[in-house]
Amino acid sequence: MGNTSRMTSLQRREQLIQVGRALFAAKGFEAVSVEEIAANAKVSKPIVYEHFGGKEGLYAVIVDREMRALTDALTATLSDPDMHPRQIVEKAALALLTYIEENAEGFQVLVRDSPSTDPAGSFNSLLGDISMRVEDLLTAAFKRQKLSTKGVPYYAQMLVGMTVFTGQYWADRPKVNKEQLAAYIVDLAWHGLSRLDSKPTLRFEGQRAQQIAAKAAREAAKDAAKSAAKGVAEDAAQESDSSSTPASAEPESDPSSPVESEDAN
């Protein structure tokens, strides 16, 4: 086994964590076996059990470590309530993308389907905690802007979800650098946040939009009916005027006309 046999217990533990993280990131929890972990670490299966009690224990340690790293990175950016709202969005987006860039395998472990042994320690739980912090900041900002806070919990979920989902996409397709992607995210998020309506509604779809459209159609039909009725009335008035006008009298003979002159002769 070469140098691996001379590792200290702490070094062996770190090696197994690194091996397990790479395997879980590439294949997911269910597809990885203790045999595969041991083979990749060039140790026997009992060594894995000795340190972690099995793959579940190793997975839990890896997830806990990654969640701590990501939590620290994100909460640090959301700790200053006096920061400009746009700067908060910028720092949060950059913090997440930096974590993804520097901990690619760890991020893949977090976003993959995980065993439901500890829901409280799941990635979704972490995102829920982050969303609540964003919600607190948005609530304060909305109150300053005299906006309704009814939708704040949803806006917080949108911001976090948009950033995380985009980060997942970018992790597999890093065609732009971290700062450029953060600028894309912030551009979309900020222009939305800075132009929020106090009571937003759907314009073209949904029950209210359909009611408005139906009302507009009824009004248009009424106007069209009024115009048509007015046109009929005007036509009738014109016909009435023309029928009541007396016929023109026969024009008197012109005594100087050639015909009259011939009769006179």
Q: What was the pLDDT predicted at 136?
A: 87
CATH at residue 166: 1.10.357.10
- What percent of the chain is modeled with pLDDT above 70? 85
**How far apart are the C-alpha atoms of 54 and 33, rounded to whole Å?**
9
Q: What was the pLDDT predicted at 98?
A: 93
> Who wins on pLDDT, 76 or 184?
184
Helices and strands, counts by H and E, the chain: 11, 0
pLDDT at 111 over 80: yes
Please check whether residue 155 lies inside any domain of the structure.
Answer: yes
Name the token pair of 54.
Answer: 């099995």
pLDDT at 13 over 90: yes
Please check whether residue 13 lies inside any domain of the structure.
Answer: no
Residues, the chain, total? 265
* Domain containing residue 188: 63-193
Q: What is the pTM of this model?
A: 0.70
pLDDT classification of 254: cutoffs 50, 70, 90? low
**How far apart are the C-alpha atoms of 102 and 37, rounded to whole Å?**
23
pLDDT (mean) for 12-38: 95
pLDDT in tens, 187-202: 999 998 888 888 888 8
Query: Do residues 89 and 190 make contact, with C-beta atoms less than 8 angstroms apart?
Result: yes
Pick the range with the lowest mean pLDDT from 1-10, 35-44, 73-82, 211-220: 1-10
pLDDT at 118 over 70: no
pLDDT at 116 over 70: no
Query: Do residues 58 and 52 make contact, with C-beta atoms less than 8 angstroms apart?
Result: yes
Pick the range with the lowest mean pLDDT from 5-9, 106-110, 200-204, 209-213: 5-9
Query: Do residues 169 and 161 make contact, with C-beta atoms less than 8 angstroms apart?
Result: no
Query: Do residues 17 and 62 make contact, with C-beta atoms less than 8 angstroms apart?
Result: yes
pLDDT in tens, 199-252: 888 888 988 888 888 898 999 999 988 888 888 878 777 877 766 655 555 555
DSSP 121-160: GSHHHHHHHHHHHHHHHHHHHHHHTT---TTHHHHHHHHH
pLDDT at 78 over 90: no
Please check whether residue 19 lies inside any domain of the structure.
Answer: no
Query: Which span out of 102-116, 162-176, 223-237 was modeled with the highest average pLDDT?
Result: 162-176
Please check whether residue 6 lies inside any domain of the structure.
Answer: no
pLDDT at 69 over 70: yes
Angle between helices 55-77 and 9-27 (to 10 degrees): 80
Please check whether residue 231 lies inside any domain of the structure.
Answer: no
Q: Which helix (H) or strand (E) holds 186?
A: helix 178-193
117-123 contact pairs (CB < 8 A, 24+)? 117/56, 117/60, 118/60, 121/60, 121/63, 121/64, 121/67, 122/63, 123/63, 123/67
Please check whether residue 137 lies inside any domain of the structure.
Answer: yes
pLDDT classification of 84: cutoffs 50, 70, 90? confident
**How far apart are the C-alpha atoms of 189 and 240, rounded to whole Å?**
67
Virtual CA dihedral for 92, 96, 97, 100, nearest 10 degrees?
Answer: 170
> Domain count of the chain?
1
Please check whether residue 200 lies inside any domain of the structure.
Answer: no
Q: What was the pLDDT predicted at 1?
A: 46
Query: Which span out of 13-22, 83-92, 138-147 was modeled with the highest average pLDDT?
Result: 13-22
The alpha carbon of residue 3 and the mean position of all alpha carbons in its chain are separated, in whole angstroms, by: 50
Please check whether residue 48 lies inside any domain of the structure.
Answer: no
Go through 45-79 and write b for each residue having 16 or more CB atoms within 10 A of its CB, e for each that does not: eebbeebbeebeebbbbbbeebbebbeebbeebbe
